[in-house]
Amino acid sequence: MTEPVGSVLLSAALIVRDEADHLRACLDSLDGLVDEVVVVDTGSTDGSATIAASAGARVAEHRWHGDFSAARNAALDLCRGRWILYVDADERVRAGTAAATRAVLETSDALGLLVEFTPATGFTWYRECRLFRNDPAIRFERPIHERVVPAIERLGRARSTGGATGPGSVPGTGLTGGAVWGRVPLHLHHLGYDDDRPSRHRRDLPLLEGELARRTGDESTWYRLGVARAGLGDDRGAEEAWREGARASAAEGDTHPLGGMSLVELVRISEEQGEDPGDLLTGALDRFPRNRLLVWHQARRLLATGAPRSAAALFAGLAATDLEALANEGLAYDGRLFGSWAHDGAGAAAFALGNYEAAAAEYAAAEAAEPGVLGYRVKRVAATRRAEGVRSCTEDAATVPTRRAG
């Protein structure tokens, strides 16, 4: 007899297709956290389903027809836990967080819970909704970049109207609308971007184009289309997509973080083509003042245009960024932005100001943050020798006899 929904605390729901390389390690990382694992296979030929079954998962087949939401919802339909964690085979649960997470689930009155999520190795993390109530009203939407948050928010509003649950929000996440949100100390690390990106881009490209045919003005999808095209070597197509993303973002008048990322890419392209991105950068920062990549570009430009003190302040700010607070802002950055890149920039600013000892210290910090980059060592040595030269000249000057007056 099939156990009813709610018979266990937490189910994990996965969809897989040819994930044999990743699946075992993912399932191992779920051990001790979830009470059951549901795996929906969408057409594997590499034995993924067998791996899942041998690990104790409940496995079902789902015919793939280009719709991620349909596949995910098929998995949700089979879950029996009071809560559902959706996770992908190329993700890992960080060890040591299971007990604390389960304790939250036992007492939380939230509908959806945010986990800590590192989207790629070497990047900072953000908060993302991966845990939610097992409720038939909570289902995924959209064929690609499927989303479950709108359903949770609708359910929250409905409950609020009915008086069952009060409205709530999590400041800084954009999560509003009546659903009750909470957080769990669960950390997921996504490895999927660490290996074969081109195949992922080839898979995503037609889905993104299909999404844009339906939602022409969606700046986040334009940005992602640009990423996919760039990843497949289509630089011109990528630039066109990012220009569309920037236009869509401006037209909507909002400040979606990925609208800012399209502008970041356009600034980068402008620089690589030897153009001055000044106006573009200024306009971008007016709309996205918290985008740290734009801040970094601005600092470089200040340095290039003879304002090293202002540049130094911006680089120092990047190096001192509170990554915990940053997680609430909706973007995960290449972590080097706050480490080696920030110290590299601070070193150049100190160098420009003639403070060679400080420059050497910044370059040493860049080296420590990213060992193996010869450029940082070169600059550290250069700054150190300049500092020694200055000291030598100062000492020489001090030993020159002073001409006595009269």
Pair 132, 156: CB distance under 8 Å? no
Give me the least distance between CB of 29 and other proteins, in Å please.
19
Q: Which CB atom, from 101 or from 173, has the smaller least distance to other proteins?
A: 173
User: How far is C-alpha 345 from the chain's CA centre?
Assistant: 23
Give me the least distance between CB of 235 and other proteins, in Å please.
8
Instruction: Please report, to the nearest 10 degrees, the dihedral formed by the alpha carbons of residues 48, 54, 57, 58 taken in order.
Output: 90
Q: Which CB atom, from 177 or from 283, has the smaller least distance to other proteins?
A: 177
- With residue 181 as reference, give the H or E element that holds it: strand 181-190
Q: Which residues pair with 15 in a beta bridge?
A: 40
- The 3-state DSSP class for residue 391 equals helix
Give me the least distance between CB of 184 and other proteins, in Å please.
14
Q: Which residues pair with 91 in a beta bridge?
A: 190
Give me the least distance between CB of 268 and other proteins, in Å please.
6
- The 3-state DSSP class for residue 165 equals coil
Q: How far apart are alpha carbons 299 and 251 in whole angstroms?
A: 28
Give me the least distance between CB of 153 and other proteins, in Å please.
6
Give me the least distance between CB of 105 and other proteins, in Å please.
18
Q: Which CB atom, from 83 or from 376, has the smaller least distance to other proteins?
A: 376
Q: Which CB atom, from 52 or from 269, has the smaller least distance to other proteins?
A: 269
Q: Which CB atom, from 22 or from 130, has the smaller least distance to other proteins?
A: 130
Nearest to 110 by CA among 91, 136, 97, 129: 129
Pair 40, 48: CB distance under 8 Å? no
Tokens of 359: 């420059």
User: How far is C-alpha 316 from the chain's CA centre?
Assistant: 22
| DSSP secondary structure letters along 71-86 | HHHHHHHH--EEEEEE
User: Where would I find the H helices in 232-322?
Assistant: 235-252, 257-272, 278-287, 292-304, 308-319
| Residue 316 CB contacts under 8 Å (≥ 6 apart), including other chains | 342, 346
- With residue 27 as reference, give the H or E element that holds it: helix 20-30
Give me the least distance between CB of 5 and other proteins, in Å please.
22
Give me the least distance between CB of 71 and other proteins, in Å please.
15
